Structure 1
Amino acid sequence: MMMAAAPEMRASDGDRDRVAAALREHVAEGRLTLDEFNERLEQVYQSRTYGELARLTSDLPGIDLHRLPAAVEPAQGARPVRPDDKARSLRSAWTAWAGVSAMTWLFWLLAFIGSGHFVYPWPLWVMGPWGVVLLINTISGTGGQSQRRDS
């Protein structure tokens, strides 16, 4: 990590962010454990000078943050999401929602019959929010999957 010649000079937020990005890269490369990373990251944002920042990376090789790859390449054997995969995913999500909803209503019915008086219809709180999210995904066409864009 390249720092200014004067270690007593005050560091900016941008300087601290660049050191934090370099530390993240060192974790990704396996040079730092997550515990070491967390300790150093806390110290990064408490650092006031270039010298303090330099000490946090002095035992690590330099990383040119401008030469990092822009995007992660897809894993070997990965395939793009096809429309039939989305439909299958939506169908599975709705099937799970219907099955869980039916079970919760069955439990509610058994509690209602067993108690002999009205029991609050709590299954609405199980199926309602979940159903709304599924409906939004169905209408928007995402099917609960992230969209992959090839360039």
Structure 2
Amino acid sequence: MANSPEMRASDADRDRVAAVLREHTAQGRITMDEFHERLERLYESRTYGELAKLTSDLPDVDLRNLPAKKSEEPAKRAGMHSGMRAAWGVWAVASSINWVVWFIVSLTSDGEVHPWPLWVMGPWGVILLMSTVFGGNGGKRP
């Protein structure tokens, strides 16, 4: 039996329309303001006809066959999560700053200056390397 516009809609029907509206918002067809406005009207709707009016100007969306998101970065595919990439970035910046300071001190001093940045970057780098190679969660976020 086909649903006539005068038939009462259920909460599940409203939830399906809300999912469609969210998808159209994500795809940029409607703005956030329009989304919130339609969502208010959605939960005040009582019939299938009122629900149909909310999406009548939008193309049909099959929520079961949405395209997969392509936000996977090459480093994530390689197994390194963003926290580990950030830790390596901080290590590289701190090591670079230490080497610049050492270089300036070496140029301005009379004698030979021990390469002390090795004592900063060495142990820290070993710990990062061990965490990267033998990380407990296999490079995936919990």
Q: What interval of TM-score do these two structures reach, taking the shorter chain for normalisation?
A: 0.5 to 0.7
CA offsets, 1:93-126, max 9 Å, x none? xxxxxxxxxxxxxxxxxxxxxxxxxxxxxxxxxx
RMSD: 3.1
Sequence identity, in percent?
Answer: 57
Does residue 79 of the first structure (1) align with residue 67 of the second (2)?
no
**Which residue among 42, 47, 52 is the counterpart of 2:40?**
42
Number of aligned residue pairs = 92
Change (3 A) 1:73 1:5: same
Q: CA deviation at 1:88?
A: 6.0
SS of corresponding position for 1:79 = helix
* Mapping of residues 2-151 of structure 1, within 5 Å: 4-69=2-67, 71-75=68-72, 77-80=73-76, 82=80, 85-86=83-84, 89=87, 147=141
TM-score normalized with structure 2 length: 0.53
Distance in 1, matches of 2:53 and 2:82, equals 53
Aligned to 1:95: none
Structure 1: which 5+ residue stretches go unaligned? 93-140
Structure with max Cα Rg: 2
TM-score normalized with structure 1 length: 0.50
Aligned to 1:111: none
Aligned to 2:114: none
Q: CA deviation at 1:79?
A: 1.6
CA offsets, 1:4-33, max 9 Å, x none? 531111111111011001011111111101
Q: Amino acid of the residue matched to residue 55 of structure 1?
A: K
Q: CA deviation at 1:68?
A: 1.1
